[in-house]
Amino acid sequence: MAVQMTGMPESATSARMGVAFMLAGMLMFSLNDVLGKWLAASHSAFQVMTVRSLAALLVLSPFMLRLGWRRLVRVEQPYLHVVRALFFSVDALAFYYCVAFMPLADAMTYWLAVPIYVAAASPFLLGKKVGWRRWLAILVGFSGVLIALNPSSASFSLPALVALGGSLAYGGAVVLGRKLREAPDVTLVTWQVVSALISASVGLAIFPESWSPVSPVNLGLLGLLGIVALCAHIFVNRSLKLADAATVVPLQYTLLFWAVLFGWLIFSDVPRPTTVIGAVLIVLSGLFIFFREQTVKRAAQRTQVTEVL
């Protein structure tokens, strides 16, 4: 009993720190989104990713040297690191492509569905049990994605499909991040940045016309983009280590608030009605999944305590 009581405050403190890091990470991602949309109007996704990754590696290099190359390269389950890093590369490239053609709020609606993807994948990849109530909420969430996608001949566009694919890739990266929670933050971020640089460089090699002249101002913004994105990933990785995914992942819904606010203030964007309806269903579904998971956890804890007594 004394050991359990001593551990409880530490767990609560860890959860609060995880929430704080996730909120900070979402704000940083929102700033990344604004910069990305601004730069995507003048430069291709491959070019944005290349310069962003180089800037991130420059900032990350002192931490990489401090950690040592052995801990960066010699990791457990390297194939999971590779797949996770590739998922993040697809996620970033998809975002920088689609955001050039879509309002921020429209694009971010697809990424709002990530908690639903995580809940759907948890039984198969994390071994977690999902009851019929949460499966029903998952179906409601997916219906929200379909409504936001608005699959008609007029709106079933390539940018929307790319956004959907990018959000799925990000969901996969989040799930794998939970399986690699013991790896150092610097290791996780380094693999992400290196993968992004390689992927973008391959894209530029295949499509050299994607590279366009860069003004000094845009070069500075591209470098700032790398730093902001790096901080965002570090905050999110730390959040997922400090708190359970079911606790912090739903906080990604704050992205919608920032996307609407920044999109309106900076780009004069107004979300489509179908996007608003779909976003509401997605958020409600995700919140239900979150609260249901907390209820199940509390019930399981009470059962364990009863068995001990």
Task: Reply yes or no on whether the pLDDT at 1 is more than 70.
Answer: no
Q: Reduce the DSSP state of residue 105 to 3 states and report it.
A: helix
Distance, in Å, from the CA atom of 48 to the CA atom of 58, rounded to the nearest integer, reads 16
Residues 15-46 have pLDDT tens digits of: 888 889 998 998 998 898 899 899 988 899 99
17 exposure class (CB count in 10 Å sphere: 0-12, 13-18, 19+): middle
* Residues 69-77: contacts with CB under 8 Å, at least 24 apart: 71/184, 71/187, 72/186, 72/187, 72/190, 75/183, 75/187, 76/182, 76/183, 77/179, 77/180
Q: Specify whether the CB–CB gap between 255 and 108 falls below 8 A.
A: yes
Residues 249-291 have pLDDT tens digits of: 778 778 888 888 888 888 888 777 888 888 888 888 888 887 7
Q: Specify whether the CB–CB gap between 52 and 226 falls below 8 A.
A: yes
Residues 186-211 have pLDDT tens digits of: 888 889 999 999 999 999 999 999 99
Residue spans of alpha helices (H) in 243-272: 245-248, 254-267
The amino acid that residue 90 corresponds to is: V
Q: What is the pTM (predicted TM-score) of this model?
A: 0.75
Residues 118-172 have pLDDT tens digits of: 888 777 766 677 777 888 888 888 888 878 777 654 456 788 889 889 988 988 8
